[in-house]
Amino acid sequence: MQEIPRQVAVAIVGAGPVGLMAANLLGTHGVATLVIDRNPGPMDIPRAIALDDEGARTLQAVGLDRDFMPRTEPAGGARYLDHHGQAFAEIGAPAPEYGFPRRNYFFQPELEQTLVDGLARFEHVTVAFDTNLDGFTADNDGVTLRLPGGQVRADYLIGADGARSSIRQALGIAMEGDTYPQDWLIVDTENDPDVEPVSKFFCRSDRPFVSIPAPRGGRRYEFQLAPGEVATEMVKLERVREFLAPLRQLPDADITRVTVYTFEARIAARFSQGRVFLAGDAAHLTPPFAGQGMNAGLRDAHNLTWKLAEVLSGRSSPALLDSYDGERRAPAWAMVQLAVAMGEIVMPQALEDIEFRRGILRQFDRFPQARNFIVGMKFKPRPRYDGGAFVDLHGQLVAASLVGAMLPQPDILGPGVPGPHVPGPARLDDALGTGFALLAQAADTAAFMAANQCRLWPELSPSRVLLSPAASVPIYGITSLAAKPGPGLVTVRAHRDQILLVRPDRYVAAAFWPQDADAVVAAFRDVLGHCQDG
């Protein structure tokens, strides 16, 4: 076990996917970090099962996507079946926009071990399992953690310690919302005869259930329990076999986990207090229907860690950290509401609710796009913030402006990405790097970037990239890339005459024409110093 340092920049309590991802992100930024967890090592049971494209992109940000993503199973879409087993809707897998399939099924212990192994790259990051937090005190200058072996002083503390977060409780931060009024039996299997990579929603009136693919021939089944059914009885193997009997017979050895979850739809009243921050389940709890619980936590980690790195480096004012709560709370709650809506739309049990859904879908037969919008959950909020660390967020002149939104990530063609050759498609982020980036799409704006490096935030050391549909004339100091056609490139091309400033979490902080550079540079420096909304 590594010796625990007594002074770090950031301490993280909780070594689940969110805490470990935050540590890897901080490691890439060179931030001295300590992670502690009371468990003896990474959890060896599958919990989360779906990694979305934004989560995969965060893995890419810490250089672990090439290792982990081949072990995932890309989703093939979703199918919704009525009480009689007849499919009333089916949605295929959408085209990738952020560099990865929209939804990927994975084995959580493998993800956690990948993240733990990734920390071995950083001498300035320590992970200490089998270590309890006995308490902490926060003041204006930092946080003191009380551990069994002594005290640790940190500039900042991240509580990623789960739904029953001791950090949140110690701060007295309330969880707002409701416990979801349903318990569900969760059954994980191996060697499952259903190998179709499609999530199946059995919208039965007696007992709704879901069948979800898992890697390497596994599957997860989630059965809604009826009022009065007791968890200790439902998890017995004889009862589990009864649940699975209408579907298939599986030997007991192929049933790898059985548990009962009480789903919750709740959010912390605030995500930070002083120098202490909440992330993941410590900050928000969601029913699993949209597969967004862990993924929302990974977004928390990516949003918070680059801001901590900026503040700790002295390039930004501590006030920048106020934007973490301002940016993340509303999208996190939107994902919770999406999951609740998805459960109510596809899993109604009352007869009047079933008839209402059937009537809506019958009307939608005349309007396929509207039908897909509802059953395909296309109303999932796009990755975009309404305020925070951006320049002129609500005053953009370009239609469909990306300012405040996540930058699409097209595949790129040919050479141009620094570093050793690795299998798989080259993606835009491989060239943008892990910090800030300036992105141009025309030769003249790229030449402006090259000639004005001392004006365009030299303190941020941004990478400089020219992205175009075809090969461009090389420009000294600029990485020139040809993008593969696709929906991501089409979206980015809306800014083809502007320069984009891209944040480390891949959100577009600013868009500007060369003649407006000085004003925008000053405005974003002001944002980093005072964190005013766009």
The SS3 assignment for 75 reads: coil
Task: Determine the pLDDT at residue 428.
Answer: 93
Relative to beta strand 150-159, strand 33-36 is unpaired
Averaged over successive runs of 10 residues, the pLDDT of the chain (534 residues) comes to 90 97 98 97 85 95 96 87 80 84 91 97 97 97 96 98 96 86 86 90 84 89 88 92 88 90 88 98 80 86 98 96 95 80 61 56 54 50 90 90 95 58 69 95 94 96 90 82 85 93 98 97 93 46
- How is residue 263 written in tokens? 């789903």
The SS3 assignment for 445 reads: helix
Residue closest to 101 by CA, chosen among 68, 53, 55: 53
What distance separates the 2 farthest-apart alpha carbons in the chain?
72
Whether 500 and 436 have beta carbons less than 8 Å apart is answered as no
Distance CA 331, CA 381 (A): 8
Task: Determine the pLDDT at residue 82.
Answer: 80
Task: Determine the pLDDT at residue 274.
Answer: 97
Burial class (CB in 10 A: 0-12, 13-18, 19+), 65: buried
Distance CA 217, CA 81 (A): 22
Task: Determine the pLDDT at residue 421.
Answer: 41
Residue closest to 349 by CA, chosen among 211, 203, 221, 200: 203
Whether 48 and 64 have beta carbons less than 8 Å apart is answered as no
Burial class (CB in 10 A: 0-12, 13-18, 19+), 443: middle
